[in-house]
Amino acid sequence: MAAEPNPGSEIQATRLPGGLFVISERLRYLKSASLGVAFHLGSRDDPPGQEGMTHLIEHMIFKGTEEMDARAINIASESRGAELNAFTDKEATCFYARFPGENMADVTGLLTEILRAPAFRNPELEKEKQVVMEEIYSGEEDPESCMINLLMQAVYGTAPLGKTVLGTAESINRINENNLGGFYQGRYGAGCAVAVAVGDLEHQKVVDMVRVLDAKVGMRPVRESAQFRSPGFLTRTRRELSQVYVCLARPAFAYTDPRRYALAVLNTALGGGVSSRLFQRLRETEGLVYSIGSFVELYEDSGLLGIYFIAEHRKLARCIAVLREEIERLRREGITEEEFKRAVTMIRSGLVLGSESSIGQMMRLARGYLIAGRVVTLEEILARYDRLELAEVTQLVGELLGEDSYYAGVVGPVGEKEVGEILGG
């Protein structure tokens, strides 16, 4: 057992012999606590032809063990005032609970038990497959979800990052209890996991409570390198819609790249708030859109800087023209010192406010470990933003917002030819 003491800090960390990394942060003023167990496994790691496997496992974890069925798990959770939940994204899966701190032992025991010995019974699996299919159909009908899925496919094609987290009806139907159970037993283990607890708690007690998960093997996945396709766009024609949903993106870099702090500032100044350039120009000045913004998606070996908006069909060409004007102005002038300072302040504020929530702080610590392989403190992140210089952001403008074509996903009452003419024009 290896401990990582942090003198003067309320954050402590221990690596258990099997590889499980345990982080706790003691916040003495809280009456609640949050516990999460995150795995370095996501939809990018789904077996070929069985896309949606990791997301389906997320659902099935709560459907019973050999000793408890789903109803018993729900009763045990709610009887202790706990909220159990989970999420799956491209590269991680997290199971977590938020509860009154006095019930830490009971809720931790429940969460570790359902992770240690899920039953994956076939009757429950068949029902949950239908639930996931409803989720898939709902996502296909939702224009915003469809827009993002098309963008990712345009960027990464048929590679894992280009596929949806949910999978397809066909891939879900191929999954049975044997390959589901085999994938879970072989992949979800201590070597690719971190357990994080936040609240008024004692570190050693947390370590002792989650130790049962250290017995299960499982290493971080070896992934095929992500490759960008040539810039292009994909369109889903939906004549029943009156608006067009557009998502554009440019290639960025991996989440371990030290330039990610400058990228966060660039994103905030570009479209990350109501004072951002895109919001002010396209919504406040031109009145072209109701919803517009920018975003960053960073992965283990790849990344995107994206822009999205929703507009009436008749305004689409004007939106793209104004967007081009604003990006060209940004390339020509760069962001101002005032924009830079405001963006840094917004980012720091978001981090500080998030740290006052036990579940927000738990998520931040878990994600920091999955990305960096160590404890990443809030103070470390804030200090990095304090050292950031405007020149670092200015350099990224030229690197990421070039004159080359953008990737795009478009949904609405438009055809491929029209979209091509507008985007290419």
Query: What number of CA atoms fall less than 13 Å from residue 367's CA on the CB side?
Result: 16
Which of 275, 277, 304, 279 is CA-nearest to residue 292? 279
The residue with tokens 């608006």 is 243
- Concatenated DSSP letters of 78-135: HTTT-EEEEEE-SS-EEEEEEEEGGGHHHHHHHHHHHHH-B---HHHHHHHHHHHHHH
Query: What number of CA atoms fall less than 13 Å from residue 286's CA on the CB side?
Result: 23
Identity of residue 64: G
Alpha helices in 157-241 (DSSP H): 169-173, 177-187, 203-210
d(CA 268, CA 256): 19
d(CA 56, CA 43): 10
Classify 274 as helix, strand or coil.
coil
d(CA 424, CA 342): 34
Classify 349 as helix, strand or coil.
helix
The residue with tokens 């990006």 is 327
Is 58 one of the annotated active-site residues of the chain?
Answer: yes
- Identified catalytic residue from 4, 10, 51, 58: 58
d(CA 279, CA 285): 9
In our burial notation (b when 16+ CB lie closer than 10 A, e otherwise), range 289-313 reads beebbbbbbbbbebbbbbbbbbbbe
- Concatenated DSSP letters of 228-269: PPPS-EEEEE-TT-SEEEEEEEEE---TT-TTHHHHHHHHHH
Which of 213, 181, 183 is CA-nearest to residue 195? 213
Question: Dmax of the chain from CA atoms?
Answer: 65
| Cα separations in angstroms, 302 against 42, 299, 360 | 15, 5, 25
DSSP secondary structure code for residue 220 in this structure: P
Which of 97, 93, 76, 94 is CA-nearest to residue 33? 97
Q: Is 29 exposed, middle or buried (0-12, 13-18, 19+ CB in 10 A)?
A: exposed
Catalytic residues: 58
